[in-house]
Amino acid sequence: MIYRQKPKPHSLALSLTITVFLTFLGLSASAQRVLLDRVIALVDEGVILQSELDIRISDLQQAAARDGRPLPPESEIRGDVLEALIIENIQLQMAEQVSIRYDDDTINRVLTNMAENSNMSFDEYVTALENGGVYLQTREQVRQQMMIQELQRGMVNRRITITEQEIDNFLNSEMGREVMAPDFFIDHMVVVASGTESDDEKQQKLRFAADLTAQVEEGNNFLQVRAEASESSNFQIQSTDFGWRKAEQLPNLFSSIVVEMEEGEIAGPIEAGNGYHIIFLAGKRGGTEQIVKQTNIRHIMLSPNEIRNEEQTIAEIQELKQRILSGEDFAVIARQHSDDATSVVAGGDLDWVNEGGMPPEFEAVIQELEENTLSEPFKSATGWHIAEVLGRRESDLSQQYTRSQAANSLRNRKFDLELQNWMIEIREKAFVEFID
The backbone torsions φ and ψ at residue 351, rounded to the nearest 5 degrees and listed phi first, read: 65, -160
Confidence (pLDDT) at 12: 34
Query: Pick from 90, 118, 97, 102: which is nearest to 12 by CA?
Result: 90
178: left (phi over 0), alpha (psi -120 to 50) or beta: alpha
- Cα end-to-end span (Å), the chain: 5
**For residue 17, what pLDDT is reported?**
33
At 183 the pLDDT is 85
Q: What is the CATH number of domain 292-395?
A: 3.10.50.40
Q: Answer whether the bond into residue 182 is a cis peptide, omega within 30°.
A: no
Give the whole-angstrom CA distance, residue 373 versus residue 325: 10
From-to residues of CATH 1.10.4030.10 in the chain = 2-158
Specify the CATH number for 2-158; select among 3.40.630.30, 3.40.50.1820, 1.10.10.10, 1.10.4030.10: 1.10.4030.10
Query: Where in the chain do CATH 3.10.50.40 domains reside?
Result: 182-285, 292-395
Residue closest to 324 by CA, chosen among 335, 313, 339, 309: 335
User: In this structure, are residues 45 and 150 in contact, taking their beta carbons and an 8 Å threshold?
Assistant: no
> Closest Cα partner for 267 from 190, 195, 200?
190
Q: What is the pLDDT of residue 36?
A: 64
Residue type present at position 106: T
What is the DSSP secondary-structure string of 3-43?
Answer: EE-PPPHHHHHHHTT-----STTTTGGGGG--SS--EEEEE
Please report the pLDDT score of residue 287 as a whole number: 64
Q: How far is residue 90 from each of residues 15, 78, 96, 142, measured CA to CA in Å?
A: 14, 19, 10, 17
Architecture of the domain delimited by 182-285: Roll (3.10)
For residue 264, give every residue at least 6 positions away whose Cβ sits within 8 Å of its Cβ, in sequence order, or none.
281, 282
CA torsion 171-176-178-181 (nearest 10°) is -50
Beta bridge partner(s), residue 395: 292
- pLDDT at position 351 is 92
Q: Are 382 and 152 in contact (CB under 8 A)?
A: no
Tens-digit pLDDT profile for the chain (436 aa)?
Answer: 444 444 433 333 333 333 333 433 444 444 444 446 899 999 999 999 999 999 889 888 888 889 899 888 888 899 999 999 999 999 999 999 999 988 888 999 999 999 998 899 999 999 999 998 889 989 999 999 999 999 999 999 999 999 999 999 988 888 887 777 788 899 999 999 887 888 888 899 999 999 999 999 999 999 999 999 888 878 899 988 888 888 888 888 888 898 888 889 999 899 988 899 999 998 887 666 667 788 999 999 999 998 899 999 999 999 999 999 999 999 999 999 999 999 999 999 999 998 888 888 899 999 999 999 999 999 988 899 999 999 998 876 667 778 888 898 899 999 999 999 999 999 999 999 999 8
Report the alpha-carbon distance of residue 425 to residue 429 in Å, rounded.
6
Residues in Cβ contact with 39 at an 8 Å cutoff, skipping those fewer than 6 apart: 47, 48, 49, 50, 435
Number of residues written out for the chain = 436
Residue 199: count of CB within 10 angstroms of its CB: 7
Phi then psi for 176, rounded to 5 degrees? -60, -45
Question: Which run of H or E residues covers position 131?
Answer: helix 122-131
CB 21 within 8 A of CB 27: yes
CB of 84 closer than 8 Å to CB of 18: yes
